[in-house]
């Protein structure tokens, strides 16, 4: 069983498995990855980094494809 870690999604601490992707952590936190230009909530569609729908800011890096990154302790994720 993978270890549990604490990270932050939009400033709120959450605990997830270390085997969890950032996209999954965002969903666990009850958030959307981003909001489209027309105001629609967006989230993972393909789950393999092709569609770019899961983009969010991870540790200060904008437009990160969150379905491709595993969660790390104290990681900071900002959705928009």
pLDDT higher than 90, residue 80: no
- Report d(CA 55, CA 78) in Å as an integer: 10
Query: Could you read off the pLDDT of 12-31 as tens digits, one per residue?
Result: 999 999 999 999 999 999 99
Domains of the chain (ranges; CATH) run: 4-78 (3.10.20.30)
Nearest to 63 by CA among 22, 15, 31, 28: 22
pTM: 0.90
Query: Could you read off the pLDDT of 27-55 as tens digits, one per residue?
Result: 999 999 988 899 999 888 898 889 999 99
Adjacent-strand bridge partners of 35: 41
Query: Could you read off the pLDDT of 50-79 as tens digits, one per residue?
Result: 999 999 999 999 999 999 999 999 999 999
């Amino acid at each position: 069983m993978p270890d549990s870690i604490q990270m932050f999604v939009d400033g709120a601490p959450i605990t997830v498995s270390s085997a969890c992707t950032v996209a999954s952590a965002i969903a666990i936190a009850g958030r959307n990855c981003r909001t489209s230009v027309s105001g629609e909530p967006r989230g993972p569609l393909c789950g393999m980094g092709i569609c770019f729908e899961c983009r969010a800011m991870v540790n200060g890096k904008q437009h990160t494809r969150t379905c491709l990154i595993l969660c790390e302790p104290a990681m900071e994720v900002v959705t928009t």
